[in-house]
Amino acid sequence: MADLKVTVAGVEFANPLIAASGTFGFGHEYSEFYPLSTLGGISCKGITLKERPGNPPPRIAETPSGMLNAVGLQNPGVDHFIEKDLPWLRQQGTKILANIAGNTPEEYCQMAEKLSDSDVDMVELNISCPNVKQGGVQFGTSCAGVEGIVSAVRKYCRKPLVVKLSPNVSDIGEIAVAAEAAGADALSMINTLTGMRIDIRTRRPIIRNNTGGLSGPAVFPVAVRMVWQASSRVHIPIIGMGGVSRWEDVVELMLAGASAIQIGTVLFSDPYAPVKILDGLRSYLDSNGIASVTELTGKIQAY
């Protein structure tokens, strides 16, 4: 039996699959299907310093091989998360990533400080949310912005710090280097690509926010390319994500350079996807005589 354990920034995951932030809430709903320990980890719904109501509906639009969302970080706030959601989640036998987003660097720092005293395993810095007016992606689309926010949060964050990168940039390699230089322990990528759909009858955008974040199989090749480009530029591990929906995608993204994988949109069509992907991954490793899944990371033979 192949070993599925992976280690990212000193945190050991039982397997490389992590539920992606925003697709899994705080875990309760999916615990109806299987024990949450099925997953290596869970990246919780993005949290902010204070409760956020989120964007007006409609928030969702389907697209060819994907979907747009503009939920707008609806969440109960960091204190509620620590007091009400985390204790139950902590008992589920999986690693917990707290995904945080702020309007200002100070808000990010305050949250990082609070979470450093909590039971979470890692902090995932969301500097790539395309669906909120302030903060979010504005910190994540220039090297100076990334360096500024990551170095500020680094001073307050005593947990392993994962920086979640936006794909809406011209040179992902430069951004990855900036995050590493500023003190990131790992990178996670890619967040959604900004997209838009218009209803041709009403001439109105389908999403009330006008634009939304594109996810699903449609973005997978972009994720592979960006993980590959970033991994050649940095020494810290990368948690790859973006449209992963089959075990073959996990293998592919790890070959491109990922050390662990987040899955999200596929859960909407198949809540049991993690179970199926892990089964497929195990058989693949066993039938190819690969002793540990970690042997895949970065083993692309590029031209």
Partner 1 sequence: MKYDVRICEILKKEEIAKGIYDLTVEAGELAEKAQPGQFAQIYIPGKTLRRPISICSADAAQRTMRFVFEIRGDGTKLLSEIQEGQSLDILAPLGQGFCLGDTSRRALFVGGGIGTPPLLYAARKFGGNASVALGFRNAEAVILEKDFRDAGCKVQIATDDGSYGYHGLVIDCIGQEMPEVVFACGPGPMLRAVSKFAADRGIPCQISLEERMACGIGACLGCACKILRDGREVYGHVCKDGPVFDAQEIVWEVG
**Contact set with partner 1 (CB under 8 A):** 22-25, 28-30, 32-33, 45, 53-63, 65-67, 69, 71, 74, 206, 216-217, 265, 267-272
**Which C-beta is closer to partner 1: that of 37 or that of 288?**
37
Tokens of 274: 């993690």
Shortest Å distance, C-beta 199 to partner 1: 11
Q: In whole angstroms, how close is the CB of 39 to partner 1 at the nearest point?
A: 13
204: three-class secondary structure by DSSP:
strand
Question: Rg of the chain's alpha carbons, rounded to an integer?
Answer: 18
Is-catalytic flag, 129?
A: yes
Map tokens 């892990």 to a residue. Answer: 278
Please say which residue, 262 or 265, places its beta carbon nearer to partner 1: 265
CB of 208 to partner 1, least distance (A): 9
Least distance CB 66 / partner 1 (angstroms):
6
Taking the CB of residue 4, how many other CB atoms lie within 10 A of it? Answer: 18
In angstroms, the CA 245 to CA 70 distance is: 21
- What DSSP letter does each residue of 120-163 carry, written as one string? -SEEEEE---TT-SSSGGGGTSSHHHHHHHHHHHHHH--S-EEE
Kindly state the DSSP code that residue 297 receives in the 8-state scheme.
T
Which residue, 70 or 150, has its beta carbon nearer to partner 1? 70
How many Cβ atoms from other residues are within 10 Å of residue 12's Cβ?
A: 11
Whichever of 161 and 223 has its CB closer to partner 1, that residue is: 223
Where is 8: in which H helix or E strand?
strand 6-8
Write down the catalytic residue from 44, 109, 129, 157.
129
Catalogue the active-site residues: 129
